[in-house]
Amino acid sequence: MNYITSILGLATLAISMFSCRHSNGKADGYGNFEATEITISAENSGKLMQFDIREGETLEKNQFIGYVDTIPLALQREQLEVSKAVIKSKSKGVLSQITVLNAKLKTANTTKNRIQNLMRDRAATQKQLDDVLGDMDIIKSQIRSIEVQNAPVVNELKSIDVQLKQIENKIEKSKLINPINGTVLTKYAEPNEITGFGKPLYKIADLRRMQLRVYLSETQLASVKIGQEVSVKIDASDTMKSYKGTIGWIASEAEFTPKIIQTKDERVALVFAAKVEVVNDGSLKIGMPAEMWIHKSKTK
């Protein structure tokens, strides 16, 4: 009888300890890991001559990963440079006429000064001065006329320069340069495929720091703030693996609890979304579930 009583007592104590541990061991928040995913698209149209990436590969910022065929753009640039050379030769002929007229204007101005000096000594007449001034006006008029005729040529040269800059910009954008440090999540294209402007090439995310999106009740808001350290736990083989986390963002407006992580009764509750920043040691993956534990302040 004493043996049975002892067994019942131990069983009761074990059940009591388990219940106590379970009731006090509830996490303060549950959610899934996510990362900022960026879809990189083509900035030029053409054939993918080189595209050297693999899914799961880690890329560095500004790393060259391939290029789009630039031969059509190079031919356009060559054609524009030939057109520019032809127009420049025409413009040189016009400018040479202006040079000749400017020389005549300079000579006429020298003659005008000489006549004015002679008129002080009464060795020249007003008519001589008027004739020189008239010649100067005619030369100036001729210069203005040629400049007006040359204006379209100048504008055409400027237009070609703009087109050349556009071609150079397109050639530069034909190079595929990775914009951020991160891991390739999905690859959408392969070498030798024809791509177009805005067509997705691959998706990348920086997995060195992950964000755990959790949902807090109104009563929990008083115990958390941005920058606060918390604990994040994930399922491991034998026990829970723990990470240090930092509250990086708390929503300013409440929303209904998402269906995917809450029971039916809790779906109607209003909660506030929050993101916990966690340094990834390589074990954390996008979509992986985790728990958040708020560090309770110790009372003296």
CB 223 within 8 Å of CB 246: no
Tens of each residue's pLDDT in the chain, 300 residues = 334 333 333 333 333 333 333 334 688 888 999 999 999 999 999 999 999 999 999 999 999 999 999 999 999 999 999 999 988 887 777 777 778 888 888 988 998 898 888 888 888 888 888 888 888 888 888 888 777 777 788 888 899 999 999 999 999 999 999 999 999 999 999 999 999 999 999 999 999 999 999 998 888 888 889 999 999 999 877 788 999 999 999 998 888 766 555 554 555 578 899 999 999 998 999 999 999 999 865 544
Tell me the CA distances in angstroms from 16 to 2, 20, 28, one per residue in order.
21, 6, 23
**What's the pLDDT score for residue 92?**
74
Q: How far apart are the first and last CA of the chain?
A: 46
The total of other beta-carbon atoms located within 10 Å of residue 267's CB is 13
**What's the pLDDT score for residue 25?**
62
What distance separates the 2 farthest-apart alpha carbons in the chain?
A: 155
Picking from 136, 111, 115, 113, the residue whose alpha carbon sits closest to that of residue 124 is 115
Residues 6+ apart with CB under 8 A from 36: 205, 206, 211
**What's the pLDDT score for residue 77?**
95
**What's the pLDDT score for residue 44?**
92
Q: Pairing between strand 270-279 and 58-59?
A: unpaired
